[in-house]
C-alpha cells in the first residue's frame, strides 16, 4: 500500500474524530473519544459509514496530532473505528494512547489481523467477509447487526466460536429498526445469553 502503509501506522487516514457518548454495545452510555479511520473493503449494503470506504477522501494525519487533541479533553477511553481500522498497523497509536493513560477500545469486523494492545475488542462480524479465528478467540464483545433473518443464524455461528466470557449483543440495523426490533426482542427472550444493543446516540441525536 501507499507510503509503506502510511509510515507503518505513524500516520492514519483520519475520517473524523470527536468526543461523544458511546451509543452501542457493552460500553453504551459512557463518554469516549472516537477516532474514525477511513478505508473499508467489506462492502456491507446497509453500511452507515459509506463515506469512510475510500481513503482518498481522508487526510493522512500524524497520530501525535490526534492524541494531542485527545489530551486536551478529559478523555478516559478512545474508540478506534472505521471503516475497517485493522487494515492499518495500530500499534503506534495504541502505544501512544497507553503512554497517555488512555484506555484503548476497537470496533472491527475481524476480517484483518489486529495489531496493538487493546482494553476492549468489539467484534462485529460481517457475513460477506467472515472474521479471522484469532479475533473470535480474543473478542471481549460480539456485536451482530441484524438486517434480515439470516443474521440470527450468523450470530449463532459466531457465538459458537468466541470465548466463554465474550459479551453477546444483537443490534438492529438502523434503517430497519422498526421492522426488526420486535423480532430481536422475541429472540433475546428465548435466547437470554444475548443482549440487545441500541444505537442510543442516534436517539439522542448526537454523533
All residues at 6 or more sequence positions from 51 whose CB lies less than 8 Å from its CB, including other chains: 15, 57
Question: Cβ 154 to ligand SF4, closest distance in Å?
Answer: 13
Q: How many CA atoms lie within 13 A of 105 on its CB side?
A: 22
Question: Cβ 135 to ligand SF4, closest distance in Å?
Answer: 13
**CB-based contact 22:30 (threshold 8 Å):** yes
> For residues 54 and 95, which CB has a smaller minimum distance to ligand SF4 in the complex?
54
Question: Cβ 43 to ligand SF4, closest distance in Å?
Answer: 6
- What is the CB neighbour count within 10 angstroms for residue 49? 16
Question: Cβ 64 to ligand SF4, closest distance in Å?
Answer: 25
Question: Cβ 53 to ligand SF4, closest distance in Å?
Answer: 7
> For residues 53 and 194, which CB has a smaller minimum distance to ligand SF4 in the complex?
53
d(CA 96, CA 130) in angstroms, rounded, equals 30
> For residues 9 and 83, which CB has a smaller minimum distance to ligand SF4 in the complex?
83
Residue ranges that bind ligand SF4, judged by CB under 6 A? 40, 42-44, 47, 49, 52, 82-84, 109, 126
CB-closest chain residue to ligand SF4: 47
> For residues 25 and 102, which CB has a smaller minimum distance to ligand SF4 in the complex?
25
> For residues 96 and 141, which CB has a smaller minimum distance to ligand SF4 in the complex?
141
97 torsion bin: left (phi>0), alpha (psi -120 to 50), beta (else): alpha
Number of residues that make up the chain: 207
- The alpha carbon of 78 is separated from its chain's Cα centroid by a whole number of angstroms, namely 11
**Does residue 36 sit in helix, strand or coil?**
strand
Amino acid at each position: 500500500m501507499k507510503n509503506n502503509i502510511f509510515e507503518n501506522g505513524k500516520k492514519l487516514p483520519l475520517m473524523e474524530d470527536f468526543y461523544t457518548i458511546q451509543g452501542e454495545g457493552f460500553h453504551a452510555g459512557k463518554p469516549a473519544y472516537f477516532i474514525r479511520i477511513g478505508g473499508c473493503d467489506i462492502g456491507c449494503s446497509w453500511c452507515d459509514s459509506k463515506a469512510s470506504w475510500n481513503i482518498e477522501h481522508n487526510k493522512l494525519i500524524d497520530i501525535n496530532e490526534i492524541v494531542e487533541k485527545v489530551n486536551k479533553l478529559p478523555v478516559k477511553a478512545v474508540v478506534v473505528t472505521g471503516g475497517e481500522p485493522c487494515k492499518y498497523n495500530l500499534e503506534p497509536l495504541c502505544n501512544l494512547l497507553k503512554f497517555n493513560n488512555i484506555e484503548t477500545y476497537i470496533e472491527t469486523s475481524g476480517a484483518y489481523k489486529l495489531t496493538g494492545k487493546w482494553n476492549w475488542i468489539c467484534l462485529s462480524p460481517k457475513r460477506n467477509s467472515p472474521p479471522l479465528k484469532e479475533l473470535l478467540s480474543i473478542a471481549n464483545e460480539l456485536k451482530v447487526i441484524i438486517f434480515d433473518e439470516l443474521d440470527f443464524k450468523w450470530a449463532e455461528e459466531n457465538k459458537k466460536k468466541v470465548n466463554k466470557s465474550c459479551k453477546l449483543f444483537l443490534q438492529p440495523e438502523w434503517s430497519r429498526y422498526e421492522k426488526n426490533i420486535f423480532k430481536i426482542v422475541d429472540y433475546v427472550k428465548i435466547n437470554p445469553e444475548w443482549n440487545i444493543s441500541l444505537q442510543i446516540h442516534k436517539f439522542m441525536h448526537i454523533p
